[in-house]
Structure 1
């Protein structure tokens, strides 16, 4: 393998490794994560009584990360392909063909490292009693050790959304 080809392969491999960490970890969907539009706004808050906490898995979309990885892989592959095509044959045709081939292969590699359209993250199923006495259930992204039975705060940004805040902030082992 020539020096330019080796360099291009190393660059593409490094980019693929960097893109492999692009999976959506679900942080956006946590009860204690807020969008910019939710900050500095008044939201209705209630206290609830958590009756039970069960482990769950939450499916979160990963399509935007996968698309980003595919585009980045295609661009990096095209650059590497042009470099390889230019090495021994300085014609425009060789560069174009190298770029097209590299872009196609890079796009496939980006799709592979970008993961599936859906990823799964740790979640909890929380059974709670509202102030009115109703027993309800909600699913949240988080870990069971972040919650415990007893009083918790429920934030309701919309009538159909329930965000029970973690009520056991030091319950998870430190990493």
Structure 2
């Protein structure tokens, strides 16, 4: 039973410790941005450099704490009940559940508040001005040349991918 609980906690941490990077790219929009007019311009990408982007992971941490608490409580209650033997006392079950819940919460708390994801810094020319934009994405999504810059908010730069990454095998 201890192995099952340990495996459950490790699995929970693995699943919730990562940010879904598919939602961070410049070509991913919030539902509030749909069917709205957006300013768009063409720009000339001059260079693409690798970057790292620190992303808030608080929601995944909360999820991990909740799942950890639940798994720990159930696993602890089962263990506490088994350790109590055949007696019909609930003390072992309650104590095991309480200790398990605290341990599960602690395990969920090990998920980091911020995670670093792959990004790019794009140097581009807009008119006569040289500018840069750092955003979540992969180097293979961009190439030098013409690209579309979309702004849904003031000072926002969403340089749309102008290349396709090779398919992973």
TM over 0.5: yes
The answer on whether the counterparts of 2:12 and 2:67 sit within 8 Å (CA) in structure 1 is no
1:38 aligns with: 33
1:173 to 145, 166, 169: 166
How is 1:68-147 mapped onto 2 (pairs within 5 angstroms)? 68-87=63-82, 88=85, 89-112=87-110, 115-130=111-126, 132-147=127-142
The answer on whether the counterparts of 1:25 and 1:119 sit within 8 Å (CA) in structure 2 is no
Alpha-carbon distance in structure 1 between the residues aligned to 2:3 and 2:63 = 20
How large is the Cα RMSD of the aligned pairs? 1.6
1:41 aligns to what SS in structure 2? coil
Cα deviation, residue 106, structure 1:
1.3
1:161 to 153, 156, 167: 156
2:71 aligns to what SS in structure 1? helix
2:24 to 29, 41, 52: 29
- Per-residue CA deviations over 1:74-105 (Å, capped at 9, x if unaligned) read 11101111112222243222222111111111
Is 143-152 or 89-98 further displaced after alignment? 89-98
TM-score (normalizing by structure 1)? 0.86
2:14 aligns with: 20
- Per-residue CA deviations over 1:44-101 (Å, capped at 9, x if unaligned) read 1110111111111111111110111011111110111111222224322222211111
Q: How many residues align?
A: 164
The answer on whether the counterparts of 1:46 and 1:155 sit within 8 Å (CA) in structure 2 is yes
Alpha-carbon distance in structure 1 between the residues aligned to 2:64 and 2:158 = 31
The answer on whether the counterparts of 1:27 and 1:141 sit within 8 Å (CA) in structure 2 is no
Moved over 6 A (4+): none
Cα deviation, residue 20, structure 1:
0.8
Structure 2 unmatched ranges of 5 or more:
none
TM-score (normalizing by structure 2)? 0.89
